């Protein structure tokens, strides 16, 4: 038997294509407006939900198009209320997504790639390698899945799951715009954060965008040798060039980048490392997020003691640098930063 060609995802149609489709099906023009509303503002996930469209039209649409929404393989719920999902797309590729509720707000950590090619030494995703990049719709579908599961509106999204967002730049920007659009999820640009390992061409392009999306940098060391060891995938983007690119970003946008700094016992929490970080940040517009490294099985790295984290926060503050100690969410279900590895849990 010949393999069947998968139906086109109806959500990939432009508004003009939807209008042309409605006309081709002999339907009145107002049906296009209804269909656009279901696919945009109402974020329908099936034709059955489109209750104000005639059944015959819904059947016609279902015969020609599909909703290629991901299937939930497993879900784990953390003691802190976070939920981690393993979502599988139609080609069998799976990614992990995390929903994090907090005081009436709901944040989602999305993956931009299945796996990651950056090979960061302390990250479970990087150790697993890259499978493929995701489409913009596949990124947005992760947010929609979490929104439906919690039954509440998502208020912020961080691109801090699997993958290097700037290694999938075009799809990531398209997803950001879909999430930000008043016809989509209408999430404020400042509540959409992209975290990069420091891919400089991506940072320079990101600075040109008219929207006020937020930028975070996985820094983890301001000492070149240590950073090369921890993050070999960005070795060619030196700290000197990264510093320059970030200063240009601040000048162009007026926005404050965030530095993510996972503290690793005996690696980046020594006095020389801390002082170099202070030097790197001093006199610049930035915010430093300090976090104790999250444990990964079989890893040689261990989290810094909390006293070291607090010491670095005080050192940064004494130099006029904003720094916060970030609490890990979902670490008991391997949902915290650096722990996402597509581990299928036996849910039977």
Residue 178 is predicted with a pLDDT of: 93
Q: 334 falls in which pLDDT band (50, 70, 90)? A: low
Q: Is residue 24 located within the same domain as residue 171?
A: no
* Relative orientation angle of helices 271-281 and 306-318, to the nearest 10 degrees: 40
Looking up residue 181, the CATH number of its domain turns out to be: 3.20.20.70
Q: Are the CB atoms for 293 and 329 separated by under 8 Å? A: no
Active site residue 337: yes
**Does residue 3 or residue 185 have the better pLDDT?**
185
Asked whether residue 49 falls in the same domain as residue 180, the answer is no
Tokens of 72: 């939930």
- For residues 47 and 75, membership in a common domain is answered with no
The predicted-structure confidence for 156-196, as pLDDT tens digits, reads as follows: 999 999 999 999 999 999 999 999 999 889 999 999 999 99
Residue 347 included in any domain:
no
Answer yes or no: is 2 within a domain.
no
Where does a domain end: 66, 90, 114?
A: 66
Instruction: Considering only residues 298 and 140, tell me which one the structure prediction assigns the higher pLDDT.
Output: 140
Residue reference for tokens 């010491």: 311
Of 66, 83, 114, the residue that ends a domain is 66
**Residue ending a domain, choose from 48, 66, 84:** 66
Residue 133 lies in a domain: yes
Query: Is 239 found in the same domain as 130?
Result: yes
Calculate mean pLDDT across residues 202-212.
Answer: 98
Higher pLDDT, 304 or 43: 304
Query: Which member of 109, 116, 286, 337 is catalytic?
Result: 337
Same domain, 194 and 222: yes
Count of structural domains, the chain: 2
To the nearest whole percent, how much of the chain has pLDDT over 70? 93
What tokens were used for 263? 């503290």
Residues 94 and 62 in one domain: no
Q: Do residues 81 and 217 both lie within one domain?
A: yes
How buried is residue 163: exposed, middle or buried, by Cβ count under 10 Å (0-12/13-18/19+)? buried
Let me know whether 254 and 270 are in one domain: yes
- Catalytic (active site) residue 244: no
Catalytic residue among 2, 37, 96, 174: 96
Q: Is residue 58 situated within a structural domain? A: yes
- C-alpha of 104 from chain center: 21
183 and 272 in one domain?
Answer: yes
- Which tokens sit at 303? 């989290």
Query: How far apart (Å, rounded) are the C-alpha atoms in residues 335 and 85?
Result: 9
Instruction: Say if residue 262's pLDDT is above 70.
Output: yes
Among candidate residues 288, 218, 216, 204, the one with its CA nearest the CA of residue 251: 204
Same domain, 57 and 100: no
**Section 8-35 average pLDDT:** 92
| 59 in any annotated domain | yes
* Residue 297 scores a pLDDT above 80: no
Strands (E), the chain: 8-9, 65-66, 71-77, 83-88, 94-102, 105-109, 113-115, 130-133, 156-159, 192-196, 214-218, 258-263, 287-292, 322-325
Say if 338 falls within a structural domain: no
- CA distance linking residue 263 with residue 301, whole number of Å: 10
Q: Are 213 and 179 in contact (CB under 8 A)?
A: no
- Here the contacts of 204-211 (C-beta below 8 Å, separation 24 or greater) are 204/245, 204/248, 204/249, 205/169, 206/166, 206/249, 207/248, 207/249, 207/252, 207/253, 208/252, 209/173, 211/176, 211/177, 211/180
Residue 252 placed within a domain: yes
Residue-number span of the structural domain to which 98 is assigned: 71-333
* 161: its two tokens: 């799951």
pLDDT value of position 107: 97
Asked if residue 136 is part of any domain, the answer here is: yes
Both 30 and 102 in one domain: the answer is: no
Q: How confident is the model at residue 333 (pLDDT cuts 50, 70, 90)?
A: low
Query: Do 52 and 100 lie in a common domain?
Result: no
- Find out whether 345 and 87 touch, Cβ atoms under 8 Å: no
**Any idea what the CATH number is for the domain that residue 15 is in?**
1.10.150.530
């Amino acid at each position: 038997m010949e393999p069947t060609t998968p139906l086109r995802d109806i959500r990939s149609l432009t508004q003009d294509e939807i209008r042309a489709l409605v006309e081709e099906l002999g339907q009145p023009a107002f049906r296009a407006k209804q269909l656009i509303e279901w696919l945009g503002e109402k974020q329908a996930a099936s034709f059955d939900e489109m209750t104000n469209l005639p059944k015959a039209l819904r059947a016609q649409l279902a015969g020609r198009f599909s909703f290629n929404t991901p299937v939930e393989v497993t879900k784990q719920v953390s003691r802190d209320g976070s939920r981690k999902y393993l979502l599988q797309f139609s080609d069998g590729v799976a990614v992990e997504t995390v929903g994090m509720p907090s005081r009436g707000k709901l944040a989602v950590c999305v993956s931009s790639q299945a796996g990651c090619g950056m090979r960061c030494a302390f990250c479970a995703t990087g150790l697993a390698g890259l499978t493929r990049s995701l489409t913009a719709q596949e990124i947005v579908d992760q947010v929609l899945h979490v929104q439906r599961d919690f039954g509440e509106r998502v208020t912020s999204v961080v691109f801090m799951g699997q993958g290097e967002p700037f290694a999938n730049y075009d799809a990531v920007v398209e997803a950001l715009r879909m999430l930000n659009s008043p016809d989509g999820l209408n999430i404020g640009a400042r509540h959409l954060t992209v975290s990069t390992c420091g891919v400089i061409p991506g940072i320079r392009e990101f600075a040109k965008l008219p929207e006020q999306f937020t930028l975070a940098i996985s820094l983890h060391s301001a000492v070149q040798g240590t950073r090369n060891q921890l993050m070999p995938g960005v070795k060619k983007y030196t700290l000197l060039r990264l510093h320059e690119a970030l200063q240009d970003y601040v000048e162009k946008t007026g926005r404050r980048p965030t530095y993510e700094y996972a503290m690793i016992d005996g690696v980046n929490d020594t006095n020389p490392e801390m002082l170099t970080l202070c030097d790197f940040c001093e006199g610049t517009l930035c915010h430093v997020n300090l976090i104790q490294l999250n444990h990964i099985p079989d890893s040689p790295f261990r989290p810094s003691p909390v006293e070291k984290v607090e010491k670095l926060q005080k050192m940064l503050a004494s130099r006029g640098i904003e720094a916060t100690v970030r609490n890990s969410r979902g670490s008991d279900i391997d949902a915290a930063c650096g722990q996402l590895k597509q581990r299928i849990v036996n849910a039977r």
